[in-house]
Amino acid sequence: MNALPVPILAAMVASAPLHAATPSGPASMAEHQRQCAGKDGWSDPAPPVRIFANVYDVGSCGITVLLVTGAKGHILIDGATEQAVPAIIANIERLGVRPRDVKYLLSSHEHIDHAGGLHALQQRTGATLIASTAARPMLESGTPARDDPQRGGLDAFTGARVGRIVRDGETVTLGSLRLTAHLTPGHSPGGTSWSWTACAGKNCRRIVYADSLSAVSADGYRFADHPAYVARLRATIAKVGALRCDLLITPHPSASALYDRLAGTAPLIDSKACARYAAAARSNLDKRLAREAAAVKGR
């Protein structure tokens, strides 16, 4: 076959698309902000960012998915949506972590925006899903509990098999990683928060991944009609507020201004963060109950 004339070959080379090298390692917050500008959806792909030491957010623009790395394997907390899983896996690999080295999956609560991707992540990693007795039925069925305030307002998702039950105050250990479960029902019946210590050299911080505390519901639900559930949520709010934490992370990053803090526009470390988070949740619950009472009075 005759070679192409030089002018034609040069034109073809000049018109060929240029492919940037695949990035590796955690993204800068500038890259994260560019990719997530105007986006905060459950499945909008975001690059991975380091939060502190061996703790990374590998989730979407609007949903936190935490990767905690260790020498004996890694732990992933939450799974965003099923649609977000390919990007989550790509983020894990970008950090130089093999998905099959993720040994445990943990969960905050059993709603589609946080648990919808757990089944697919379990398939990709082979990891064991660890959950509380209360969360297990919903995580495995993919359906909100009967007493969940958001039942009827959330879609079902593909359930994931729970391989181990964890009790309140029990510690999940993987090599040097030690994460403690705190059962925090209220936003959902199976809500769970997690705490542990992470160290960057001699700089150690108490991290709390506090479950959502917001009093939100499907249309037509009145919290005032469920005093026992309100009491449970109040107890959970008090429990989270009493946790010792230097660095607060939440399933919805906006709930704790995570990205602003990582960008340096607000303090990342705050020993009163859990107390402030709980105080805001308590205020919002009181406002919700007041609105419900006002609506009844106005009829």
Which residues are catalytic, by number? Answer: 109, 111, 113-114, 187, 221, 252
Closest alpha carbon to 41 in 253, 209, 258: 253
Q: Side chain identity at 64, as an amino acid letter?
A: T
Q: Distance between CA 12 and CA 17 in Å, rounded?
A: 10
Q: Side chain identity at 135, as an amino acid letter?
A: A
Q: Are 92 and 59 in contact (CB under 8 A)?
A: no
Residue 161 is encoded by which pair of tokens? Answer: 């098999």
Q: Distance between CA 268 and CA 51 in Å, rounded?
A: 9
Closest alpha carbon to 241 in 279, 268, 211, 186: 279
Positive or negative: CA dihedral 167, 168, 171, 177: positive
Q: Distance between CA 222 and CA 228 in Å, rounded?
A: 12
